[in-house]
């Protein structure tokens, strides 16, 4: 009987180990995070930063209780038309910009997972900027949370392992007294008995191995899916490499109001925005030889690259060296993206894809730039056709095509922006 109990405990232990793999609490959080990144992160950050839509830090404390947030995500337009006061308030605060309707795109379970992810983001991390003595730093406050269910499973496994050891000792002692069990059985170790148990339960072990392999493959797929994708939210930091020269976009584009096109001068004429040459830097820094933060330390690196002697005001071409800037935003080689088409014809601001660069001391990637992110933008972005001669014929064609729907504006998707060959050919 004791032996049967020991075997049953071992069966239970194996079952709990399998449950630990299958029902790990990170799976649901990962799903909610993935859904958020694919559908919501285009417009919202998990901080208090305002992108296209408001930042979601503390959102669970702001929205009305109950199912309000679920209904809002599902169909925000329906709630606005119903006269909901808080929905109307959000609409006014965001300049009348409406949110994407996810009814038919996301299931109720998907929306619940996104809300769970938002709750987790609110409960675990709050980031605030503090200024003390003229220096600015970030203070991260960890909120108190409950015990991770994974730890509970691990504790149960340890307790069962101890219990199995005790039961084996009791069984061996009673068997030795009763003299019913051969000595070779009593001499077996726990691992030997485990091996014998697995040999007698091959079908169960086979199923467990298949499930574990599938879970491992799923984990690998999820990891590979995000290779090269850098993103800024509550848990991941955006790609922000250290550049050879500490160039501040905030100082140049923000404080001094230098237009992006001045340095990235090919953005309106080419598919590439272009990396500024040293000559562009020297247009200003031949006379501006010191900066507000690093004095002449960083500007001297520009002089070294240009072969410029600040004392004599002359160039030595033999001493010139290109600046090895590190690319921040990068698309796969099989993707075609044209900056001029988006900036000149599409009338898109740089911040649409690159974030508010005017507030960045160090340039970083603010958007995931995945295919899903681009497609979502094409689905909801209205094309500026009125008064744009480039679209005259296309505008007339679309008006006739969608005349039954009485549309006044058209998205990129409606003019063929979702065709595969547009970006892959």
Of 158, 183, 200, the last residue of a domain is 200
Percentage of residues in the chain having pLDDT higher than 90: 9
Distance (Å, whole) CA 71 – CA 316: 67
Under a CB-based contact definition with an 8 Å cutoff, are residues 122 and 57 in contact? yes
Structural domain of 404: 370-425
pLDDT, average across residues 244-250: 92
DSSP per residue, 169-227: HHHHHHHHHHT-S-HHHHT--HHHHHHHHHHHTHHHHHHHHHHHHHHHHHHHHHHHHTT
Is 415 among the domain residues?
Answer: yes
Is 97 among the domain residues?
Answer: no
Is 143 among the domain residues?
Answer: no
Query: Given a cut of 70, is residue 383 above it in pLDDT?
Result: yes
pLDDT at residue 302 in the model:
93
Is 255 among the domain residues?
Answer: no
pLDDT at residue 17 in the model:
56
pLDDT at residue 345 in the model:
84
Query: Given a cut of 80, is residue 353 above it in pLDDT?
Result: yes
How many other C-beta atoms can be found within 10 angstroms of the C-beta atom of residue 32?
22
Query: Given a cut of 90, is residue 339 above it in pLDDT?
Result: yes
Residue 376 exposed, middle or buried by CB count within 10 Å (0-12, 13-18, 19+): buried
pLDDT, average across residues 282-290: 87
Is 107 among the domain residues?
Answer: no
Q: Look up tokens 């080689």; give the residue.
A: 333
Under a CB-based contact definition with an 8 Å cutoff, are residues 373 and 230 in contact? no
Note the pLDDT tens digit of each residue in 9-29.
555 555 555 555 444 444 444
CA angle 154, 166, 24 (to 5 degrees): 15
pLDDT at residue 338 in the model:
92
Q: Which residues pair with 81 in a beta bridge?
A: none
Percentage of residues in the chain having pLDDT higher than 70: 76
Domain count along the chain: 2
Note the pLDDT tens digit of each residue in 30-86.
577 878 877 787 678 787 767 667 888 888 888 888 888 888 888 888 888 888 888
Of 140, 170, 200, the last residue of a domain is 200
Note the pLDDT tens digit of each residue in 196-212.
878 888 888 888 889 88
Band of residue 1 on the pLDDT scale cut at 50, 70, 90: very low
pLDDT at residue 389 in the model:
79
Distance (Å, whole) CA 4 – CA 10: 10
CA angle 308, 312, 318 (to 5 degrees): 35
pLDDT at residue 27 in the model:
41
Is 154 among the domain residues?
Answer: yes
Is 389 among the domain residues?
Answer: yes
Note the pLDDT tens digit of each residue in 137-183.
333 333 344 455 566 777 888 888 788 777 777 766 666 666 555 55
Q: What three-state secondary structure class fits 79? A: helix
Residue 206 exposed, middle or buried by CB count within 10 Å (0-12, 13-18, 19+): exposed
Q: Which residues pair with 138 in a beta bridge?
A: 129
pLDDT at residue 333 in the model:
86
pLDDT, average across residues 102-107: 79
Is 356 among the domain residues?
Answer: no
Under a CB-based contact definition with an 8 Å cutoff, are residues 269 and 243 in contact? no
pLDDT, average across residues 286-297: 87
pLDDT at residue 155 in the model:
83
Mean pLDDT estimate for the chain: 77
pLDDT at residue 143 in the model:
38
Query: Given a cut of 80, is residue 317 above it in pLDDT?
Result: yes
pLDDT at residue 210 in the model:
92
C-alpha dist (Å) from residue 78 to 52, 75, 81, 107, 111 = 20, 6, 5, 17, 16
- Closest by CA to 303, choosing from 284, 291, 320, is 320
Cβ within 8 Å of residue 302, ≥6 positions away? 245, 278, 281, 282, 285, 308, 323
pTM above the 0.75 mark? no
In the chain, DSSP finds a helix count (H) and a strand count (E) of 20, 4
């Amino acid at each position: 009987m004791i032996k049967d109990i020991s075997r049953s405990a071992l069966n239970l232990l194996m079952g709990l180990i399998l449950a630990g793999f299958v029902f790990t609490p990170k799976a649901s959080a990962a799903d909610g995070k993935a859904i958020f990144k694919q559908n919501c992160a285009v417009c919202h950050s998990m901080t208090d930063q305002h992108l296209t839509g408001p930042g979601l830090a503390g959102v669970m404390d702001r929205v009305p209780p109950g199912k309000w947030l679920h209904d809002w995500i599902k169909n925000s337009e329906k709630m606005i038309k119903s006269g909901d006061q808080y929905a109307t308030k959000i609409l006014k605060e965001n300049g009348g910009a409406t949110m994407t309707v996810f009814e038919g795109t996301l299931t109720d379970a998907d929306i619940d997972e996104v809300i769970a992810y938002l709750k987790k983001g609110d409960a675990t991390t709050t980031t605030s900027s503090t200024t003390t003595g003229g220096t600015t730093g970030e203070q991260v406050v960890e909120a108190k949370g409950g015990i991770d269910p994974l730890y509970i499973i691990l504790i149960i496994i340890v307790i069962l392992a101890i219990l199995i050891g005790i039961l084996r000792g009791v069984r061996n002692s009673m068997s030795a007294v009763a003299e019913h069990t051969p000595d070779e059985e009593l001499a077996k170790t726990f691992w030997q008995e485990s091996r014998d148990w697995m040999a007698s339960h091959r079908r169960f072990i086979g199923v467990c191995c298949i499930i574990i392999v599938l879970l491992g493959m799923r984990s690998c797929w999820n990891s590979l899916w995000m290779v090269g994708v850098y993103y800024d939210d509550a848990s991941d930091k955006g790609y922000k490499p250290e550049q050879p020269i500490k160039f501040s976009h905030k100082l140049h584009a923000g404080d001094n109001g230098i237009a992006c096109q001045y340095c990235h001068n090919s953005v309106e004429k080419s598919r590439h925005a272009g990396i500024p040459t040293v000559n562009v830097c020297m247009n200003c820094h031949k006379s501006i030889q010191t900066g507000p933060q690093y004095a002449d330390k960083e500007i001297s690196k520009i002089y070294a690259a240009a072969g410029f002697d600040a004392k004599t005001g002359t160039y030595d071409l033999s001493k010139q060296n290109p600046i090895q800037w590190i690319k921040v935003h990068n698309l796969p080689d099989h993707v075609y993206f044209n900056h001029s088409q988006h900036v000149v014809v599409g009338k898109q601001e740089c911040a649409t894809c690159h974030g508010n660069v005017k507030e960045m001391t160090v340039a970083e990637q603010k958007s995931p730039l995945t295919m899903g992110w681009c497609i979502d933008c094409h689905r909801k972005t209205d094309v500026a056709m009125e008064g744009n001669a480039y679209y005259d014929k296309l505008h007339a064609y679309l008006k006739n095509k969608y005349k039954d729907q009485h549309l006044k504006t058209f998205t990129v998707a409606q003019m063929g922006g979702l065709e595969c060959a547009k970006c892959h050919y």
